[in-house]
Structure 1
Amino acid sequence: MSTSASADASAPIEFQAVGGPLERALIWVFIVVPTIALLPAIVFAWGGWIGWHDVVVLIVFYVITTTGIGAGYHRCFTHGSFKSRRGLKIALAIAGSMALEGPVIRWVADHRKHHKFSDREGDPHSPWRYGTSAWAVTKGFVFAHAGWVLWGQDRADPKHYAPDLLHDRDLAAISRHFRWLAAISLLAPALIGGLWDRSWHGAATGFFWGTLVRVALMHHVTFSINSICHVSGKKPFTARDRSGNVWWLAILSQGESWHNLHHADPTCARHGVLKGQIDINAWLIKQFERFGWAYDVRWPDPARLEKKRAVVS
């Protein structure tokens, strides 16, 4: 079945444009606590409080959740860069939910609103919202990076920005069960680490590296696309906003930081289209297509790209 085959137009789920008090509290916990863990992580790693089991658990969960956000939430569900069979659709939505960035329907609605008003009034997280002076951009950068999630009120209404997903039975169910998936994401690394090492120490290090450090890295890489990639970076393509390419984020973001092309051609399945631009999510989509799990993939059109090339004076 395709992403649209399981839709039920008669039963959309209900979503508030802005989450309630419990959801707000959980957002603060999911963002702030893992971030605090980053500083002792440096000390612990230097002191040897990390084993190869921990490294494997961290990398595996990081790749799964980064793929869920980049290939799933972003390229598939938000922009329709490819269509997915039902199994892949469900897997990507679950993987994205485990990144602890919110339910798939809310995430998609916010991102679609961002593209509609990118770097203009109405954009939920533009770093240019306060102006162009040094202080204004600094304040805007902080807001675009994480402030809009922690205390912002300009969130998108899913009924307006994601009505197609509200009518999809699978994605509606996964959105409703986000808290359970979040709990699995938080606890699974500890369980795996404990069983693998057969000790409570293994469970503790598995939770620290596979949950706290992994979530912090994942969040701040994603947030950097909203902040860093809209303040700096090269702009080889013409876009109607300030989006730029930031090469040193490419590997960690799995290709999402080739942000200039993405805003110039949002439905394109590959963001890193120029020579030497590594795009891991595009490579994964190619494998999905090869196995028949993805179809109608919108690969780059050379003629279309040439028209979007920025004029260099």
Structure 2
Amino acid sequence: MITEPLVNPDKRQKTVTAPHLRVPQTIHFILFEVVPFLGFITAIVLLLFGIPMTWVDLGLFISLWFLTQIGFTVGWHRLFSHNAFKANVVVRVTLAILGSMAAPGPLLLAVAAHRRHHEYADQPGDPHSPHLFGEGVTDQIKGFWHAHDGWLATNREHPNTIHYVPDLLRDKALTTASRYYWLWVILGLVIPAILGGVLTNSWLGAFQGFLWGGLVRMFFVNNLINGVNSFCHVLGGRSFNTPDHSRNNLWLALPSLGEGWHNSHHAFPQSAIFGFDWWQVDIGGWVVLILEKLGLIWDVKIPKADTIKAKKAFLAARKAT
């Protein structure tokens, strides 16, 4: 991902090619994909050498994981990408900031890329489909890597934000939040370091807080987000015979707070709830319902049971013909 929204005045132009941005795109990939991975390796090595993960470290990891993952799934995905509900400016900005702390790229570009993904799901034009590289084993491995991480560094055609996110460009609060993306990412690393130092009254605690609540947490959340692009288009069950390759994954749905119900999401992209069956745990959806009860959001879109049943039958019949 690069760090500024790309705008071509021609709304009909869906992508923008900007060769001069290859360097910042690569820098972003190294800083927020490679460095968190190295942080994860460092944490494992420290554990092996007898420097444990303390209760403070665990608390920082869990709290920052939950907050940033909620920011992404409830804010960036359900609200900003799909307009699944409406929210006041405080909720919108809070969710934008929390999602930014996961470092998935600036808000406007990330949302534009996701809307383009739904437009061309698993077809040429999809920014991160694992199914566009051939049928051989090597091709499938290449496709999986592209979907999981590679596209963030190698995509040269970026979505034209004026085409894909004109609604967000009109939201001054969100455009401002997106403009300060780097600040939110840095705060996501600094805050756990400060809390770790204060709560343990030690420099080691500050380092451990930065490591576990910052880098390791960022590595974990990024791989949850990326895992939806890769695993959830390759492995899992299909409740709906959608024309793409989307899948549902329980094991990914739990830590991603509902994102793993990806096939259900592709069947009803504007739904604020991803888990339609009673056993499909969707913590992000539960947060949406809580916010609605508190009056902080409204116009929440959830398909009725008969609508879900009819859609399932329609997709099954279309595939059979």
**Common fold, TM-score beyond 0.5?**
yes
**One of 69, 83, 87 as aligned partner of 1:84:** 87
**AA of the residue aligned to 2:29:** I
Amino acid across the alignment from 2:30: W
Q: Which residue is 1:3 aligned to? A: none
Letter in 2 for 1:307: A
Picking from 100, 110, 113, the partner of 1:110 is: 113
More deviation, 37-46/110-119:
37-46
1:159/1:24 CA distance change after superposition, 3 Å: farther
How far 1:14 sits from its partner (Å)? 5.6
Partner of 2:42: 40
User: Aligned to 2:249, which of 246, 250, 256?
Assistant: 246
Question: Which structure 2 segments of 5+ residues have no match?
Answer: 8-15
**TM-score, structure 2 length as denominator?**
0.90
* One-letter amino acid of the structure 2 residue matched with residue 15 of structure 1: L
CA–CA separation in structure 2 for the residues paired with 1:23 and 1:150: 6
Residue of 257, 263, 275 corresponding to 1:260: 263
**TM-score scaled to structure 1, two decimals?**
0.92
What corresponds to 1:63 in structure 2? 66
RMSD: 1.7
Asked if 1:166 is matched to 2:169, the reply is yes
Q: Where do residues 123-142 of structure 1 align in structure 2 (5 Å cutoff)?
A: 123-142=126-145
Shift of 1:185: 1.1
- Deviation track 1:184-239 (CA, whole Å, cap 9, x = no partner) reads 11211111111111110110100110111000000011100000000111001121
Identity of aligned residues (%): 37
Q: Is the 8 A contact 2:6 2:158 kept in 1?
A: no
Match of 2:280 in 1: 277
Structure 1 counterpart of 2:273, one-letter code: R
What's the secondary structure of 1:155's corresponding residue?
Answer: strand
Determine the structure 2 residue equivalent to 1:72. 75
Counterpart of 1:62 in 2: which secondary structure? helix
Deviation of 1:41 after TM superposition, in Å, equals: 2.5
Higher deviation after alignment, 181-190 or 139-148? 181-190
Match of 2:6 among 15, 21, 43: 15
Q: 1:274 to 1:14 in 2, by over 3 A?
A: closer
- Residue 141 of structure 1 aligns with an amino acid whose one-letter code is F
1:154 aligns with 2:157: yes
- Number of residue pairs matched? 301
Alpha-carbon shift at residue 36 of structure 1 (Å) = 2.0
Q: Is the counterpart of residue 223 in structure 1 residue 214 in structure 2?
A: no
